[in-house]
A and B are shown apart, each in its own frame.
Chain A
Amino acid sequence: MSAHTHHDDNDFLFKYIFSTDHKMIAKQFLLTGTFMGFIGMMMSLFFRIQLGWPGEASPLLESVLGSWAPDGILAPDKYLALVTIHGTIMVFFLLTAGLSGTFSNLLIPLQIGARDMASGFMNMLSYWLFFLSSLVMLASLFVEGGPAAGGWTIYPPLSALPEAMPGSGLGMTLWIASMAIFIMSSLLGSLNYIVTILNLRTKGMTMTRMPLTIWAFFVTAILGVLSFPVLFAAVLLLLFDRSFGTSFYLSDIFIAGKALEVEGGSPILYEHLFWFLGHPEVYIILLPALGITSEVVATNARKPIFGYRAMIGSILAIGFISVLVWGHHMFVTGMSPFLGAVFTFTTLLVAIPSAVKVFNYLTTLWKGNIIFTPAMLFAIGLVSTFITGGLTGIILGDSALDINVHDTYFVVGHFHIVMGLSGTFGMICGVYHWFPKMFGRMLDKRLGFVHFWLTITSAYGVFFPMHFLGLAGVPRRYYTNSSFPLFDNLIDINVTISIFAFIGGVAQFIFLYNLLYSMFKGPKSPKNPWMSNTLEWTTPVEHIHGNWPGAIPEVHRWPYDYSKPGADSDFISQDVPLGPDEKDEGH
């Protein structure tokens, strides 16, 4: 490694805080993302109390939330605030920054054989902007009127007019500020990932010898660079409407007793801009999770991932189609029926590469030799949630069917399973698998087993019943379902969901305990604990700048030579030269 970073080694500030080392930055992203994730999860447990037992006083709520829950009953606008910030944190802070930030940073240089990211400084900046945006988002919880409360999609005019609801005041301004900083962080990170993957691959690491994790991170970063700037533009225009009297999104509005001087804008413009990011965002979350799973499934089934090239093809196809489908969030906005038809067509096309991926996972398991590490369990869990949630997408993507389930709990169930659970399972799977690489110690497997079974059971217990609520016509973002006699029967379902949510919450604390305990007290990790082929396991356990003490290993084969006929061991590292009669499957 170049000399200029060498003196940093002994300096606490530069080693742990302003580090430019990708491994340290990955850990920073993981810890910050996990912290935010737990806050987001706790918020969901608080509003599940209200939904399961509406109007019943809960002393716990009052002592934790204070004035948000006077007399232990959550206030209606604070319910919406919790829902909004829960969504924002989970989608952006946990599953975008927490997931991509952690694993792209950790794995890109290690798996392609690079000393570090293309720009260590930009990488550091990316983390600190993320940290700052997290602080701003958390600060918004404490301002007058509370945080943003118009749903995580913050549609104007609700989000544009402080008169419309308490959360549309300073809290909304901070939400926009936080997201603007977040987007800068995401762009710096993504550009770095793309450049690193394209330019810094070691000798022999051709594009078709890259692990699927790297392919997934690569396409994710491209999607981020294409779509996040559009969200930036959208929230910037929203800020102008809020603060400088423009009317990009506003027209003909009468609120709080007077007609506003706004003319000619359209909230639908905002929806288009938002979902131009919003939909690719789903795949910004999903693709890294799928990449991680591909790696973990192959390693632990002791078998090459089936259809490596088809997997790359489906990642590319999903990435491409994902920027053409945003209109399916807007079927009932009054858009031209022809446009609705086009978006139905493109949306249902996504099912094809998704189906290819699922069948390839199944074939990888077939005749494998499966070791059920906690990471492998979560990978199997992901395949299950990806199927369950993906299939209901066929209902929602169909414009005619969407009319009646749009914005109901059917949607909440669908996206929490296909995006929320798959994304979270992928991230947790990655943590179990690469924890030894990050912290040089091992997580406890028994806690991992308990964590997995409690999590998948409670996850389906929470989200599967939501389909029934949706098919019964229950809209999402309702403070209580008790205002309509129509929904009186459904309270059992809500109680069931809330109870499973609490079980799932407890299970995550088992994980947190495992994480924190093992970080300091776990047994020391061997160099290659899972007997894996990829290059990160050729680096020393103790982190060093530049990753490899000597020369960077040269790559001679694809990453999936598991149980290769004729080989002595059931895995062959990528840096082992091909034998005389051996064929490389990646080429």
Chain B
Amino acid sequence: MLDLLIIVSVVLGIIALAQLIKVLDLASQARGENSWENTDKDNKAQARLMPVFLVVYFASIIYQMVAWGKYLLPVSASAHGETIDNLMITSWIVIFPVFILTHILLFYFAWKYSYDKNRKAEFFPHSNKLELLWTIVPTVVLSILILYGLNTWNNITTPASEEDDAVLIELYAYQFGWIARYAGEDREFGDANVRLIEGVNALGMDSTDSRGWDDKIVRAEFHLPVNRPVQFIFRAQDVIHSAYMPHFRAQMNCVPGMTTRFGYTPTITTSEMKGITQNDEFNYILLCNKICGAAHYNMQMDIIVESEAEYETWLAEQKVFLPMDGTPKVKEVAPEEVVDSTFTEAEEMTTASIN
């Protein structure tokens, strides 16, 4: 019924429009005008709309900034993120005046120089001076931005060194969830391979590799100590995923067949951030930012940043991959946990807790 109404109203709308045009046509023909050639009145009307549009456009941008500015990501919760935010602010400081100036010129010229049959446009085909000016000025400005940007990029991508005592975490992505693995006492990950995935061994860890015996595997949430570097290693099980941690200004793709890396130092604990955002429910999150299938939109893991002591307590409570006597874990429970691909089950999975 609703569809029928919509169709009927669309048809009636088109007929009404056609009739309106006919009436306008007759009226303009009576004045000796036609339906396509701009009259002085048309040019004046359109010219007046130019500054009107400019004002509306700028006003809407200001409105959006005021109304929605508070929804933007809060201050960076990582050390390198502050340098990214500074670079971002510098870029906006360059971009905004250019945006405003060029738009004012565009719509001002359009309004100011609208057609007047008693005037002739100025024949001004070129000027080497002007062209040189707006080749050199952008070049200089961009050079500064490029140098600043590359400097920041180099600092961010320099990997953590041994002395930093970085926490080593592997983030493992699959359709549709995340698993985190801590390297354990030996600061080394045990070998893992998708061909060894079976039962509860969702990461495909090689149980004969003793380096992996003390690895700790966690789901649903992972914890980070504040002010200590974290080195992430990313793996993917099936398709490309992307580990996106927006509050830490961190993102890296997880690619099947290879490992990727990214590191940062968290600087603000979860409870401090609750204060900053004035939101008691606030949680840092890890989400997937590369299209990976039907439940891509719901692939999440919580991140808890806490004091070193709290972190150590939490970590001690987590089970290691193998019991210390070296016997492999029994292969039982829920094999479909790793093999399912329908999104309803995936939804349950992301909310279900742990191993």
Q: Which residues of A pack against B, CB within 8 Å?
A: 59-60, 63, 75-77, 80, 150-151, 155-158, 161, 163-166, 250-257, 259, 264-268, 301-304, 306-310, 332-334, 337, 340-341, 344-345, 348-349, 351-352, 355-356, 358-363, 365-373, 377, 380, 383-384, 387-388, 391-392, 394-395, 398-401, 403-404, 406-408, 442-447, 449, 453, 456-457, 460-461, 464-465, 468, 471-473, 475, 477-481, 483-486, 489-490, 492-493, 510, 513, 517, 522-523, 529, 560, 562-565, 570, 585
Q: Tell me the chain B residues, 234-271 only, with Cβ under 8 Å from chain A.
A: 234, 237-240, 242, 244, 246-247, 249-253, 255-258, 260-261
Chain A residues contacting B2 (CB-CB under 8 Å) are 59-60
8 interchain pairs (CB within 8 A)? A158-B292, A255-B341, A267-B257, A308-B126, A332-B253, A344-B150, A359-B130, A407-B244
Minimum Cβ distance to chain A for residue B132 (Å): 10
Query: Is B42 close to A, CB under 8 A?
Result: yes
Assess whether A304 is in contact with B251, with CB atoms less than 8 Å apart. no
Assess whether B125 is in contact with A394, with CB atoms less than 8 Å apart. no
Q: Closest B-chain residue to A477, C-beta based?
A: B291
Assess whether A483 is in contact with B289, with CB atoms less than 8 Å apart. no
A366 and B61 CA atoms in complex are apart in Å by: 26
Assess whether A301 is in contact with B113, with CB atoms less than 8 Å apart. yes
Q: A309-B126, A310-B135, A445-B35 are in contact. List 12 more A-B contacts (CB 8 A).
A: A164-B239, A303-B123, A334-B253, A341-B153, A344-B146, A348-B142, A365-B113, A387-B99, A403-B84, A403-B249, A443-B36, A473-B244
Chain A residues contacting B204 (CB-CB under 8 Å) are 254
With most chain B CB atoms within 10 A of its CB, the pick from A161, A166, A368, A562 is A368
The one of A150, A308, A345, A492 in contact with B146, judged by C-beta atoms closer than 8 angstroms, is A345
Assess whether B38 is in contact with A373, with CB atoms less than 8 Å apart. yes
Minimum Cβ distance to chain A for residue B20 (Å): 9
Known: A306-B126, A310-B131, A444-B36. A407 touches B238 (CB 8 A): no
Known: A369-B120, A398-B87. A493 touches B68 (CB 8 A): yes
A264 and B123 CA atoms in complex are apart in Å by: 63
Query: Is B349 close to A, CB under 8 A?
Result: no
Known: A303-B122, A348-B145, A367-B121. A464 touches B64 (CB 8 A): yes
Chain A residues contacting B81 (CB-CB under 8 Å) are 404
Chain B residues contacting A465 (CB-CB under 8 Å) are 64, 68
Chain A residues contacting B234 (CB-CB under 8 Å) are 334
Assess whether B251 is in contact with A332, with CB atoms less than 8 Å apart. yes
Assess whether B73 is in contact with A485, with CB atoms less than 8 Å apart. no
A363 and B91 CA atoms in complex are apart in Å by: 26
The one of A264, A337, A368 in contact with B109, judged by C-beta atoms closer than 8 angstroms, is A368
Assess whether A400 is in contact with B149, with CB atoms less than 8 Å apart. yes
Chain B residues contacting A265 (CB-CB under 8 Å) are 257
Q: Closest A-chain residue to B281, C-beta based?
A: A485
Closest 7 CB pairs of A and B: A251-B257, A334-B260, A473-B246, A257-B339, A372-B46, A337-B157, A442-B36
Chain B residues contacting A352 (CB-CB under 8 Å) are 135, 138-139, 142
A28 and B127 CA atoms in complex are apart in Å by: 41
Minimum Cβ distance to chain B for residue A269 (Å): 11
The one of B99, B102, B116, B289 in contact with A475, judged by C-beta atoms closer than 8 angstroms, is B289
Chain B residues contacting A355 (CB-CB under 8 Å) are 134-135, 138
Q: Closest B-chain residue to A62, C-beta based?
A: B3
Assess whether A371 is in contact with B99, with CB atoms less than 8 Å apart. no
Minimum Cβ distance to chain A for residue B97 (Å): 10
Assess whether A303 is in contact with B153, with CB atoms less than 8 Å apart. no
Query: Is B316 close to A, CB under 8 A?
Result: no
Known: A59-B3, A368-B121, A473-B73. A253 touches B256 (CB 8 A): yes
What 0/1 readout, one digit per residue, does chain B (93-121) give for beta carbons within 8 Å of chain A? 01100110011011101100111100111
Q: Closest B-chain residue to A262, C-beta based?
A: B257
Assess whether B113 is in contact with A253, with CB atoms less than 8 Å apart. no
Assess whether B240 is in contact with A365, with CB atoms less than 8 Å apart. no
Known: A252-B256, A369-B121. A164 touches B293 (CB 8 A): yes
Assess whether A406 is in contact with B251, with CB atoms less than 8 Å apart. yes
What 0/1 readout, one digit per residue, does chain B (279-299) give for beta carbons within 8 Å of chain A? 001010101111111111110
A254 and B204 CA atoms in complex are apart in Å by: 10
Query: Is B195 close to A, CB under 8 A?
Result: yes
Assess whether A267 is in contact with B64, with CB atoms less than 8 Å apart. no
The one of B72, B246, B256, B343 in contact with A157, judged by C-beta atoms closer than 8 angstroms, is B256
Chain A residues contacting B237 (CB-CB under 8 Å) are 253-255
Q: Which residues of B pack against A, CB within 8 Å?
A: 2-3, 6, 14, 17-18, 21, 24, 34-38, 42-43, 46-47, 49-50, 53, 56-57, 60-61, 64, 67-69, 71-73, 81, 83-84, 87-88, 91, 94-95, 98-99, 102-103, 105-107, 109-110, 113-116, 119-127, 130-131, 134-135, 138-139, 142, 145-146, 149-150, 152-154, 156-157, 174-175, 193-195, 197, 204, 234, 237-240, 242, 244, 246-247, 249-253, 255-258, 260-261, 281, 283, 285, 287-298, 300, 338-339, 341, 343
Chain A residues contacting B105 (CB-CB under 8 Å) are 362
Minimum Cβ distance to chain A for residue B85 (Å): 9
A59 and B113 CA atoms in complex are apart in Å by: 50
Minimum Cβ distance to chain A for residue B144 (Å): 11
With most chain A CB atoms within 10 A of its CB, the pick from B38, B94, B242 is B38
Assess whether A408 is in contact with B289, with CB atoms less than 8 Å apart. yes
A264 and B50 CA atoms in complex are apart in Å by: 58
Minimum Cβ distance to chain A for residue B255 (Å): 6
Assess whether B35 is in contact with A563, with CB atoms less than 8 Å apart. no
With most chain B CB atoms within 10 A of its CB, the pick from A252, A392, A565 is A252
Assess whether A303 is in contact with B99, with CB atoms less than 8 Å apart. no
Known: A310-B131, A365-B106. A372 touches B114 (CB 8 A): yes
Minimum Cβ distance to chain A for residue B142 (Å): 5
Chain B residues contacting A384 (CB-CB under 8 Å) are 103, 106-107
A444 and B21 CA atoms in complex are apart in Å by: 9
With most chain B CB atoms within 10 A of its CB, the pick from A59, A60, A264, A486 is A486
Assess whether B126 is in contact with A310, with CB atoms less than 8 Å apart. yes
Chain B residues contacting A408 (CB-CB under 8 Å) are 289
Chain B residues contacting A337 (CB-CB under 8 Å) are 153-154, 157
Q: Closest A-chain residue to B339, C-beta based?
A: A257
Chain A residues contacting B121 (CB-CB under 8 Å) are 301-303, 367-369, 562-563, 570
Minimum Cβ distance to chain A for residue B181 (Å): 16
A348 and B237 CA atoms in complex are apart in Å by: 35
Chain A residues contacting B119 (CB-CB under 8 Å) are 369
Assess whether A365 is in contact with B71, with CB atoms less than 8 Å apart. no
Chain A residues contacting B87 (CB-CB under 8 Å) are 398, 400-401
